[in-house]
Amino acid sequence: MKISIQRLASDLPLPAYATDGAAGLDLHAAEERTLAPGERAAIACGIAIALPSGFEAQIRPRSGLALKSGITVLNTPGTIDSDYRGEIKAILINHGQEPFAITRGMKIAQMVIARHEAVEWSEINELPASDRGTGGFGSTGLHTRK
C-alpha cells in the first residue's frame, strides 16, 4: 500500500519498520523536550500524511520506552483520521520517577496503519441474547474456568 507523506523535518528519517515482521512504523521526535515525572506533551514527529478513505493511523507506545523509562502514549491508540493533514504528534507522558530527555531523532512511538469500517446504526428495541449478557468489567473473572 502506498501512502503520501510530507517530510516536515528534512533531517529525520521517514517512519520505518524496524524488522520484517513489525506491525508498527517507528516515529521520531522532531523536537527536544524533557518530561518531568507525571508531565505530558504533544511531541512533533516531523511528518504529515494523506491516508486513503477507510484507513486510520494508530499511534502507539514503544514497549522498550514504557518498560525501561515509564514513557507511554497517553491516548493509546491515538487515531489519525484519513482527512487530517497536519503534523503527526505523539502525546507522551512520563510515568517514571525520573525526568526523561527526548532528543531530536529519538524513536518515541510507533504508527500502525489499519483499515476501518463506517457504520450505519440499526436501532432496535431489544438486543439479541448472548452467553455473557450484560456482564461488564471483570465479569469473566481472572482465571480460566476448568
Residue 9 has pLDDT above 90, yes or no: yes
Position 140 scores a pLDDT of 82
State the Cα angle at 110 between 28 and 12, rounded to 5°. Answer: 20
Average pLDDT, the chain: 96
Residue 132 has pLDDT above 90, yes or no: no
All structural domains of the chain with their residue ranges:
4-115
- Per CATH, domain 4-115 is 2.70.40.10: yes
Interval 108-134 mean pLDDT: 95
| Tens-place pLDDT, residues 86-113 | 999 999 999 999 999 999 999 999 999 9
Strand, coil or helix: 117: coil
Q: How far apart are CA 30 and CA 83, in angstroms?
A: 22
Residue 123 has pLDDT above 90, yes or no: yes
| Residue type for position 70 | G
| Tens-place pLDDT, residues 71-87 | 999 999 999 999 999 99
Work out the end-to-end distance of the chain between its first and last CA atoms, rounded to an integer number of angstroms. Answer: 44
Q: Do residues 64 and 106 lie in contact, with contact meaning Cβ atoms separated by under 8 Å?
A: no
Q: Do residues 74 and 92 lie in contact, with contact meaning Cβ atoms separated by under 8 Å?
A: yes
Interval 41-56 mean pLDDT: 98
